[in-house]
């Protein structure tokens, strides 16, 4: 049966960058990838049409798709929506939750062609290759109770950071297996000196460890992890952590590479269904100008082929095409440097297609 | 009436570094600072003697002191204590809470003599001077309910992230006032696109802003803040955020400078009573070897004189002495570089005293 891919352009630069990625997808179909591609509305774009960030129609399409390619959601246009449930971000969180996409893989890789782009000294980031495994459907993002209410004559805001053993075990296994396929080192990040929920987190990771004897498990407090990422990022192989810490650390790690416009991500559920998106945001300041970097989105297609369609050869061909374009000195503005040629979003798409 | 200073050496390198800072304190007394200095036990050191990290005697002394100088607490020796309430860190959290030290000031400054020590490129950190204002007695560190319990046949861990309007307002005012004395820019960090508690946070900051018309208030999501700190740290002047985000971001910011061994911190309550401590931890791996850097602790004394004893001249003299020692090329191992002279903890103390 022909499987489905759903493209959700979203907001800001989302439509431009997914447009280029869709061209690559079409080229993959031409090379025999048996998929049906359709589009849907998510985030602010959906709110503007339907009054909600995750319309029922989009959710239905998402559930029916094996792979979802997302651009990005959010922007100042929707920041003033009073009802948090209607904001663009809630559309994204809704897809994650409804499809059970608990396993978020965020690679932080330094491209040899772009090592100068990092704000860190070259020797600290050359060859950097970290995989951050972030739990994506639990923790404080979804914990109940939550809200703002009146207590003793003043308003109080509250959220709940909660994990069950089974949730921790599930993401722990993803991380251990990832470490087995890579450098065999797993660092679990918590705040077990202060937060009970992360004491349980640490305990479960310890309990799993003997089942993966080839993986060396270590633990680090989140504040120290933030420091160590800045000080000596190459000490890490695979990092596993909860939703909130993962949000912060994966963005910091991505920025270390100096080329956040290059980094894809995957969000998977237990059956391998997944949503794929660039690590960067919707960049409303440059939206519609044909200058955004489409490579992270194009590389998200490669990740999709690898993790959801078991098509590693095609994935590699996309990645090699991107590498070739970089070798040729083509750069969008965000990664431009002396001696390279600055190209537009569409020209970058053209170049990758030509090299594919 | 003679005011009191309590020195809490704590664990790991704590005793060595506070020993050097105490010599500076004694020199200040000799120059007319009218204080009585005593010592107390906190953290693992207290646990080993009294079976608890914050003995009643220490708490009493702390309450009676105008200024508290802390080395650092914690270490692997106590990591296996089952009862979280007995761990060294809880001693520190107890002092913060019991004395109401809600206002944590964490400067991240690049010393011109040490700009090469940063893992960031020189131009990005030269002249860096950020003040992170972290709320220290609320948020998820202290929120109730918390714990680990059985639910539906499995264990679940949970913590509560909670802030009231008055708590937010109190730390907001500290931050706005700090910004007024500095570069007049305040960036409030939250996750208002996901967490209700930080929607309230943002609202209160907005409400305060008109009272400080000379300060430019901006807001940033915590994941973006972690990125921006790595990408372009000099964009920040004063940053204000909650306890957990502040823990992570202040450590990242400290590490950006490349010389976390140089950074002091202050934790103040409404009456100016304060605890002062280096930003770095107890570094158990180098404890007792006479190699730790005592400068952050010595600079914490300067901060104490400025914020709790209204003795800015004496504070400046300490800071100038530290500057002179660095100019002379003396370095402890953590900040050593080519062409400088590596000295021990005690020799560094000697040198600062001599320059004072
Ligand atoms: C847009 C936002 C809700 C989201 C998150 O916090 O998870 C984003 O920052 C991310 O990391 O994918
Ligand atoms: C030791 C620990 C409890 C403490 C904290 O998390 O507040 C430390 O990391 C700090 O930042 O002072």
Q: How far apart are CA A351 and CA B106, in angstroms?
A: 47
Residue A131, classed as helix, strand or coil, is strand
Residue B160 forms part of a structural domain? no
Same domain assignment for residues A77 and A142:
no
ω into A145 cis (within 30 of 0):
yes
List the beta bridge partners of residue A169.
Answer: none
List the beta bridge partners of residue A234.
Answer: none
Q: First and final CA of chain B: distance in angstroms?
A: 26
pLDDT at B229: 97
Q: Give residue-wise pLDDT tens across range B26-40.
A: 999 999 999 999 999
- Who's near A213: CB < 8 A, 6+ residues apart? none
- Check if the beta carbon of residue B35 is closer than 8 Å to that of residue B309: yes
Q: Number of structural domains, chain A?
A: 2
Q: How far apart are CA A263 and CA B237, in angstroms?
A: 29
Same domain assignment for residues B229 and B128:
yes
Token duo for residue A349: 């798409």
Same domain assignment for residues B281 and B326:
yes
- Check if the beta carbon of residue B71 is closer than 8 Å to that of residue B10: yes
Annotated catalytic residue: which of B237, B251, B307, B334?
B251
Backbone angles phi, psi at B68, to 5 degrees: -120, 130
For residue B243, report the distance from its CA to the centre of ligand 2, in Å: 9
In CATH, what number is assigned to the domain containing residue B171? Answer: 3.40.718.10
H or E element, residue A163: strand A154-164
Annotated catalytic residue: which of B11, B237, B247, B334?
B247
Same domain assignment for residues B115 and B188:
yes
pLDDT at B256: 93
Burial state string for A147-166 with b = 16 or more CB within 10 A and e = fewer than 16: eeeeeeeebbbbbbbbbbbe
Same domain assignment for residues A126 and A205:
yes
Q: How far apart are CA A68 and CA B194, in angstroms?
A: 22
Chosen domain end from B231, B264, B297: B264
Instruction: Kindly determine whether residue A158 and residue B143, on different chains, have CB atoms separated by under 8 Å.
Output: yes
Residue B1, classed as helix, strand or coil, is coil
Question: How many cross-chain Cβ pairs, A to B, lie less than 8 Å apart?
Answer: 182
Mutate to test the pocket of ligand 1, among B192, B194, B196, B222 (most ligand atoms within 8 A of CB): B194
- Check if the beta carbon of residue A137 is closer than 8 Å to that of residue A96: yes
Same domain assignment for residues A335 and A219:
no
Q: Give residue-wise pLDDT tens across range B43-79.
A: 999 999 999 999 999 999 999 999 999 999 999 999 8
Query: Mean pLDDT for each consecutive 10-residue tract of chain B (356 residues)?
Result: 96 98 98 97 98 98 98 92 91 98 97 91 95 98 98 97 98 98 98 96 98 98 97 98 98 93 97 96 96 98 97 97 97 93 98 98
C-alpha R_g of chain A: 20
Instruction: Kindly determine whether residue A157 and residue B119, on different chains, have CB atoms separated by under 8 Å.
Output: no
**Matching residue, tokens 């963005």:** A251
Chosen domain end from B228, B247, B264: B264
Q: Domain range spanning residue B33?
A: 1-102+269-356
Of B222, B272, B248, the C-alpha closest to B102 is B272
Residue A279, classed as helix, strand or coil, is coil
Nearest-CA residue for ligand 1 atom 10 is A247
A185-190 and A216-221 strand pairing:
parallel
Same domain assignment for residues B85 and B109:
no
Q: First and final CA of chain A: distance in angstroms?
A: 26
From first to last of the 356 residues of chain A, give the pLDDT tens digit. Answer: 899 999 999 999 999 999 999 999 999 999 999 999 999 999 999 999 999 999 999 999 999 999 999 999 999 999 888 888 999 999 999 999 999 999 999 999 999 999 888 999 999 999 999 999 999 999 999 999 999 999 999 999 999 999 999 999 999 999 999 999 999 999 999 999 999 999 999 999 999 999 999 999 999 999 999 999 999 999 999 999 999 999 999 999 999 998 899 999 999 999 999 999 999 999 999 999 999 999 999 999 999 999 999 999 999 999 999 999 999 999 999 999 899 999 999 999 999 999 99
Same domain assignment for residues B347 and B224:
no
Please report, for chain B, how many H helices and E strands are present, in that order. 12, 14
Chosen domain end from A262, A281, A309: A262
Q: How far apart are CA A233 and CA A226, in angstroms?
A: 10
C-alpha R_g of chain B: 20
- Check if the beta carbon of residue A135 is closer than 8 Å to that of residue A104: yes
- Who's near B198: CB < 8 A, 6+ residues apart? A157, B190, B191, B192, B242
Same domain assignment for residues B108 and B209:
yes
Q: Classify A147 in phi/psi space as left (phi over 0), alpha (psi -120 to 50) or beta.
A: left
Q: How far apart are CA B154 and CA A274, in angstroms?
A: 27
Residue A157, classed as helix, strand or coil, is strand
Mutate to test the pocket of ligand 1, among A247, A255, A280, A283 (most ligand atoms within 8 A of CB): A247
Q: How far apart are CA A351 and CA A336, in angstroms?
A: 16
Same domain assignment for residues B98 and B237:
no
Same domain assignment for residues B8 and B90:
yes
Of A212, A257, A261, A253, the C-alpha closest to A236 is A253
Instruction: Kindly determine whether residue A248 and residue B146, on different chains, have CB atoms separated by under 8 Å.
Output: no
Residue B151 forms part of a structural domain? no
Same domain assignment for residues B253 and B312:
no
Residue B185 forms part of a structural domain? yes
Q: Which residues of A are annotated as a binding site for Mg(2+)?
A: 223, 247, 251
pLDDT at A259: 86
Residue B342 forms part of a structural domain? yes
Residue B96 forms part of a structural domain? yes
For residue B181, report the distance from its CA to the centre of ligand 1, in Å: 34
């Amino acid at each position: 049966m022909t499987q489905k891919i759903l493209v959700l352009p979203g907001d800001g630069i989302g439509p431009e960058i997914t447009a280029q990625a869709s061209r690559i997808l079409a080229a993959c179909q031409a090379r025999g990838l048996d998929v049906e591609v359709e589009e849907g509305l998510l985030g602010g774009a959906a709110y503007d049409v339907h009054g909600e960030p995750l319309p029922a129609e989009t959710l239905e399409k998402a559930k029916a798709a094996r792979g979802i390619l997302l651009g990005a959601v959010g922007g100042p246009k929707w920041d003033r929506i009073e009802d948090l449930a209607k904001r663009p971000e809630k559309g994204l969180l809704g897809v994650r939750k409804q499809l059970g996409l608990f396993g978020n893989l965020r690679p932080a890789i330094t491209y040899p062609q772009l090592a100068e782009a990092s704000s860190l000294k070259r020797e600290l980031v050359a060859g950097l290759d970290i995989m951050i495994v972030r739990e994506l459907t639990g923790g404080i993002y979804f914990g109940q109770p939550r809200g703002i209410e009146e207590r003793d004559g003043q308003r109080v805001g509250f959220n709940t950071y909660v994990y069950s053993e089974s949730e921790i075990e599930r993401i722990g296994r993803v991380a251990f297996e990832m470490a087995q396929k890579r450098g065999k080192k797993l660092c679990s990040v918590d705040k077990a000196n202060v937060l009970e929920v992360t004491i349980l987190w640490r305990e479960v990771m310890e309990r799993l460890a003997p089942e993966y004897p080839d993986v060396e498990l270590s633990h680090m407090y989140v504040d120290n992890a933030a420091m160590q990422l800045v000080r000596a990022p190459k000490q890490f192989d695979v990092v596993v952590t909860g939703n909130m810490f993962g949000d912060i650390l994966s963005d910091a790690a991505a920025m270390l590479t100096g080329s956040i416009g290059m980094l894809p991500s995957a969000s998977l559920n237990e059956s391998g269904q997944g949503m794929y998106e660039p690590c960067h945001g919707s960049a409303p300041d440059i939206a519609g100008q044909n200058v955004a970097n489409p490579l992270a989105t194009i590389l998200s297609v490669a990740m999709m082929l690898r993790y959801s369609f078991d098509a590693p050869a095609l994935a590699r061909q996309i990645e090699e095409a991107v590498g070739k374009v970089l070798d040729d000195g083509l750069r969008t503005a965000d990664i431009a440097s002396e001696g390279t040629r600055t190209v537009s979003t569409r020209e970058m798409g053209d170049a990758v297609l030509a090299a594919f």
